[in-house]
Amino acid sequence: MKKLVLGLAAAVALALPAQAQSKYPERPITMIVPFAAGGPTDIIARIVSENMSKTLGQQIVVENVAGAGGTTGITRAVTAAPDGYTIAMGHLGTFSAAPATYPGLKYDPINGMQTIGLAGGTPILIVAKKAFAPKDLKEFVTYVKANSDKVNEAHAGVGSVSWTTCTLLKGQLGVPKLNSVAYRGTGPALNDLVSGQVDFMCDQIVSVAEQIKAGTIKAYAVASAERSPALPDVPTTKEAGLPEYQIEAWNGIAAPKGLPKEAVDKLVDALDKALNDETVKKRLLDLGTVLPTKEERTPAGFAALIKRDADKLSPVLSAAPKQ
């Protein structure tokens, strides 16, 4: 027993100074994805982290900690020890919308965490069932305003990207009380849109693009500044007559506040290298992702994006009728 204690003490003694002067990273890094595996955020996290692992020389292990619209996982990640071994891949919802959606939120995305950088932007589309009367976005706006008691909107649950972006749309159209049908995730919502049980929804391009291409649903517009190469025929909201509806779902990496500068720099560098890698680029573009600009790949640029979208969403989300 005594030997064991001595041995342990020696091991700890050896480990401590080694840690103090060592080069980050010297063991695997955990990347918390606050959603179930297989979703859009998880896919982007896995594609990006695989390449980042190569640059860092240590494996980045993706850990799915789902719950409460992603806030459970982010809470755990940004309240972890700021040693660079726990980082998180969050999105529009968890970083910009969450403070307004979840009043008891235990983290502050603006001041309470260290941003690393944006990993990718995902355009948002306004889509409708095939048989929905309006032919284009202008008609859609008029129709929805005139028939607000008849139209059914579908979304993937409070806190989801589809709910957040649709609430913004309804707020801007002045019909916040439109009939809205909640589903558990995009899949079931999309199913009922395809079969015509509900009229329209807003969601990320990766979820709806194939259905649009197959003609099972129709798209009115993409809420980005430019058309998406994945769906070149779909006009932007600006072209189609609703310029104020500009919103993108994005995914980005954050870490606990107080991370050593060395770790921040290495992570930023690894993310940048990953986003410059041809395979990663191709994979992300196949998903309809918009690659981040140089500015958005920096901690400051990403933080500015979070702040910008939070300012845009907070008033609408706080005012949204929670029924």
Under rule CB under 8 A, residue 22 binds other proteins: no
Under rule CB under 8 A, residue 181 binds other proteins: yes
Kindly write out the interface string for residues 29-48 of this chain, putting x where it contacts other proteins by CB under 8 A and - elsewhere: -x-----xxxx--xx--xx-
Tokens 């008029």, residue located = 142
Question: Would you report the helix, strand and coil content of the chain in percent, each value rounded to 5?
Answer: 45, 20, 35
Under rule CB under 8 A, residue 216 binds other proteins: yes
Q: Which residue of 98, 113, 198, 202 would you call a contact of other proteins, by CB under 8 A?
A: 198
CA atoms of 247 and 313, how far apart (whole Å):
10
DSSP 8-state secondary structure symbol assigned to residue 109: T
Kindly write out the interface string for residues 243-272 of this chain, putting x where it contacts other proteins by CB under 8 A and - elsewhere: ------------------------------
CA atoms of 267 and 270, how far apart (whole Å):
5
Q: If binding means CB under 8 A, how many residues of this protein chain bind other proteins?
A: 61
Q: What residues numbered 84-123 form the site for other proteins, per CB under 8 A? A: 101-102
Which parts of the chain are beta strand (E)? 29-33, 60-64, 86-91, 113-129, 152-155, 179-182, 200-204, 217-222, 248-256
Under rule CB under 8 A, residue 175 binds other proteins: no
Judged by CB under 8 A, the stretch of 120-128, 208-216, 232-240, 302-310 that binds other proteins is 208-216
Q: Note whether 69 and 102 are within 8 A (CB).
A: yes
CA atoms of 117 and 286, how far apart (whole Å):
21
What are the residue ranges of helices labelled H in 67-115?
A: 71-78, 92, 98-101
What would you report as the CA-atom Rg of the chain, rounded to the nearest whole angstrom? 22
- In angstroms, the first-to-last Cα distance of the chain is 63
Q: Which residue of 14, 136, 145, 197 would you call a contact of other proteins, by CB under 8 A?
A: 197
Least distance (Å) between residue 138 CB and other proteins = 26
Under rule CB under 8 A, residue 184 binds other proteins: yes
Closer to other proteins by CB, 209 or 303: give it: 209
* Residue 8, helix vs strand vs coil: helix
- Binding interface with other proteins (CB under 8 A): 8, 11-12, 15, 26-28, 30, 36-39, 42-43, 46-47, 50, 61-68, 72, 75, 101-102, 152, 157-159, 179-185, 187-188, 190-192, 194-195, 197-198, 206, 209-211, 213-214, 216, 283, 286-287, 322-323
